[in-house]
Amino acid sequence: MSESTSDTMSGAIQHSSQGKRMTPARILLYAVLVLFAIYYLLPLYVMLVNSFKPLEEIRGGDMLALPQTWTLAPWQSAWSTAQIGVQATGLKPYFMNSIAMVIPAVLLSTILGALNGYVLTKWRFRGDGIVFGLLLLSCFIPFQIVLIPMARMLGILGLAGTTSGLVLVHLVYGLGFTTLFFRNYYAAFPTELVRAAQIDGAGFFRIFGRILLPSSGPIIVVSVIWQFTNIWNDFLFGASFADVDSVPMTVALNNLVSSSTGVKEYNVHFAGAVLAALPTLVVYIVSGRYFVRGLMAGAVKG
C-alpha cells in the first residue's frame, strides 16, 4: 500500500476541460463535501460549546446554540473537583496516571520494535518468518482472550493495579505493531550498506546506530504516534487491571459520565471528554501525516 496521501499528489483523473471553473456540478460537489465536514465536526462542536454553558442552559434545550453566558466552571470542575468514583478529585490525577503509563510504554515498545525490525530484515536467520508471523498475528487478537491470565500474571509478578503493570501490558501488546512498522521500513533500506559495514568490522549495534538509526526519523515518529494514540485511548486494559493509583484517563472519564448518583452534569462531562481527547488531538493536528501513515501500515500488512 502506498503512503501517498500528500497534498501534492494529483488526482486519479487528469481532467483538463473542467479545470477550475465553478460549474453547478462542482458547486454541488463542494456542498456535499462541506456537509460531510460539518457532520464530522458536529460532535466536537457539541462537546466544546456545551462545556462552556451553565447546566440550566443545556437542560433548556438547544445543544447546538452558543452559550448565552460563558463559564469556565465546568472545566474547573472536570479538572479538579468532580466526583470520580468515591473521590472528588476531578480528572487531574488520572490524566497524570495516563501520562506516567504512556511515556515508558511508548518508548520501550518503539525501541524494541526498532531492534526487532532491524534483526528481521538485516540479520535474517532460519525461522525468522515464523517469528514475524507470530508477532504480526498478535496485533489482531481480541484482548478478551488474555484478560484472565494477565490478571493472574500481574498478581504473581506483584504488579496488579500498578502503572508498571499497565506499562508491561501495553508494551507486550504493542510489540507486534512497532516491529511491523520498523520491519517494513528497514526492508526498503539497502542491505549492501549493512554488508559493507560488516566487512569493515562494524558490529551489530554500531551498524544500527551509525547506519540505520540516522535515517529512521519518519518511522520513529509513526511508531511513537501510533503507540501514543492507542495506549492513551485504551479502555479495556485500564478498566481490567488498574487500581486507584493507576486508573487511566479513559476509565476515569467513563466513571465520571456513567456514575448514577447525583445530578448529571453534562457540561462537566463534555469538558472531561475534551480533556481526555486533547493529547491525541494535539498529536493529530501537529503530525497528522504521520498518523495516517501509521494507520495505513497498521491496516495493510505485509
Nearer to another protein, 204 or 243 (CB): 204
Task: Check if the beta carbon of residue 131 is closer than 8 Å to that of residue 207.
Answer: no
Alpha-carbon distances of 34 from 24, 31, 38, 44, rounded to whole Å? 15, 5, 6, 16
Nearer to another protein, 56 or 245 (CB): 56
As measured in angstroms, the least distance from the Cβ of 196 to another protein is: 16
As measured in angstroms, the least distance from the Cβ of 259 to another protein is: 12
As measured in angstroms, the least distance from the Cβ of 47 to another protein is: 5
Q: What angle do CA 117, 123, 127 make, to 5 degrees?
A: 85
As measured in angstroms, the least distance from the Cβ of 282 to another protein is: 9
Closest CA to 104 of 253, 227, 209, 281: 227
As measured in angstroms, the least distance from the Cβ of 117 to another protein is: 10
Say how many Å lie between the first and final Cα of the chain, rounded. Answer: 9
As measured in angstroms, the least distance from the Cβ of 72 to another protein is: 20
Nearer to another protein, 90 or 176 (CB): 176
Instruction: Please tell me the distance from the alpha carbon of residue 118 to that of residue 180, in angstroms, as a whole number.
Output: 11
Task: Check if the beta carbon of residue 256 is closer than 8 Å to that of residue 271.
Answer: no
Instruction: Please tell me the distance from the alpha carbon of residue 245 to that of residue 202, in angstroms, as a whole number.
Output: 46
Instruction: Please tell me the distance from the alpha carbon of residue 191 to that of residue 178, in angstroms, as a whole number.
Output: 21
Nearer to another protein, 133 or 218 (CB): 133
| 3-state SS class at 63 | coil
As measured in angstroms, the least distance from the Cβ of 51 to another protein is: 11
Nearer to another protein, 216 or 240 (CB): 240
Instruction: Please tell me the distance from the alpha carbon of residue 227 to that of residue 171, in angstroms, as a whole number.
Output: 9
Instruction: Please tell me the distance from the alpha carbon of residue 287 to that of residue 282, in angstroms, as a whole number.
Output: 8
